Amino acid sequence: MKQILILLALFTTFGAVRAELLSVTLRADGLTCSMCSLSVHKALARLDFVAEVQPNIADTTFTVKFRPGQPVSLDRVAAAVRDAGFSVGQLRLTFQFDHQQVRDDLHLASGGLVLHFVSTGPRILDGPVELRLVDRGFVPDAEQKRWESAIRHACYRSGTVGECCPAGAPGQRVYHVTL
Amino acid sequence: MRALLAIAAVAWILAGAAAAQELYVQGEAASNGPRGVWRLRASASFAGEDAASSLKLYYSATQDWQFSFAAHADTAGDPAFRGGGFAAKYRFLSRDSHQNHFRAAVFAQADAATGDTGADDFLMGVRRGGGAGLIGTWLSGRTAVSGTAGYYRAVRRDGREGLEGNVLPFSVSVGRLLLPREYRSYDQTNLNLYFELVGVHADGSTRLDLAPALQFIVRSRSKIDLSVRAPLAGDLPGGTERWVFQVAYEYYFF
């Protein structure tokens, strides 16, 4: 009975989720050489939920694929890049969507991640679609400040589900994404 | 010859300001190695009939803290231990953007030596005393420029030749990634070219050396440095006009 109630609660808060996380592509900033890229690669590959890292050394970008069934932490992905000595300049999540309706302020839970859509007009997403993460630590500082002034929700500053969020458990990590 | 070297150095630095590499041969960049990774550097130096070797071990405990340990030996005849040191570096500023960064760090070091610690020895890292300093490093694409300024309190052994009292070491380093033109894999050998000005000011006199170097990065895990350090100016105790040739190998234990 309890499980049914939890399921019911999830459906009422997030709606029927039609999205699956396929991969993450991030750009590491502050480096040029292949030795530095290898440092980032090794740090990402050491994460327990990472299955594969595909580098593009020329662009200092890395596509990360995940182990099935393992919860993914984007904060740990960013921390791995920082441990290597650099920072995340851009991070894109590639989701497989199945006729998923999205709009501004929609909260969506998929693959253990709670996503909060910002600056997004009403659309229906189908097939593989890239979402760009706009939280602190995933965009350059100057861009992050622009988002901070554009997004008035307290959850953007705290990074966790707050009173401003229509869904999710208080204190739960929430990532802000846009198309 | 000295004038030509000086002009080449200035021209290079000016060119660098308009133009990657900060894995310097003589100087130390503000950046640290990856967290939890050890690095071992072995170097051999030759000047006339003299020969010396150094081993240096680096460890980055966090993204901001790096520690290093050094040991030096005279290897002209039977190897003789000449001294060693410990240094800690803290990166306190990091501004990153795409293939660019500006970083700043402070460092402190303490050294011990068994014999002479003159100007030549000091520039080789054979010192007695302790000091601290500041490093600023700017990376832009394929070029990196770095400057270091410090203070060192040198202690001379009784009956030995050496620097004593207040010493101001400094360096300006410029590095450029020449090859590969385009990155495709970690296995491509990288070629970096460096020009470094390293110096020390003490007792109202300044010793200044120019140190060009070629660096090969092999499989993105190890470095081979070939360098020469040529004195440009200075008449500090223990300083000679000999050119110092150095070969070094460094491995990253990822």
ipTM, two decimals, is 0.88
Half-sphere exposure of B222 (CA within 13 A, CB side): 10
- Helix (H) or strand (E) run with residue A109 in it: strand A107-110
**Cα separation, B141 vs B139, whole angstroms:** 6
Q: What is the number of alpha carbons within 13 Å of residue A33 lying toward its C-beta? A: 31
Q: Which residue of B has its CA nearest to A142?
A: B97
Where are chain A's structural domains?
Answer: 27-88, 90-179
So what's the pLDDT on residue A94?
A: 95
Quick check: B57 pLDDT over 90? yes
For chain A, what percent of residues have pLDDT higher than 70?
91
> Positive or negative, the Cα torsion across B224, B147, A87, B141?
negative
Residue B82 scores a pLDDT above 70: yes
Tell me the pTM: 0.88
A15 touches chain B (CB under 8 A): no
Residues 67-96 of A with CB under 8 A from B: 82-87, 89
**Angstrom distances, CA of residue A86 to CA of A77, B34, B84, B243:** 12, 9, 31, 37
For B123-154, how does the pLDDT look when each residue is reduced to its tens digit (9 = 90+)? 999 999 999 999 999 999 999 999 999 999 99
Question: A111 to each of A19, A69, A70, how far by Cα in Å?
Answer: 9, 8, 8
Q: Give the per-residue pLDDT at A90.
A: 96
Q: What is the pLDDT of residue A178?
A: 95
Residue B79 has pLDDT above 70, yes or no: yes
Q: How far is B178 from A38, CA to CA, in rounded Å?
A: 19
**Which residues in chain A land under pLDDT 50?**
1-13
Q: What would the two tokens of residue B111 be?
A: 């050294």
**Domain A27-88 is found in CATH 3.30.70.100:** yes
Q: How much is the pLDDT for B35?
A: 94
What percent of chain B has a predicted confidence (pLDDT) above 70?
92
Q: Rounded distance, CA A74 to CA A79, Å?
A: 9
Choose between B158 and A10: higher pLDDT: B158
CB proximity list for B182: less than 8 A, separation 6 or greater: A58
Quote the tokens at residue B206: 């300044």
Q: Report the pLDDT averaged over residues B64-76.
A: 97
Q: In Å, how far from its chain's centre is CA B87?
A: 13
- Is B185 near chain A, with CB under 8 Å? yes
Residues in chain A: 179
Q: Is A129 on the interface with B (CB under 8 A)?
A: no
Query: Tell me: the pLDDT tens digits for B3-50?
Result: 555 555 555 554 444 335 788 999 999 999 999 999 999 999 999 889
- Based on its alpha-carbon atoms, the radius of gyration of chain A, rounded to whole angstroms, reads 17
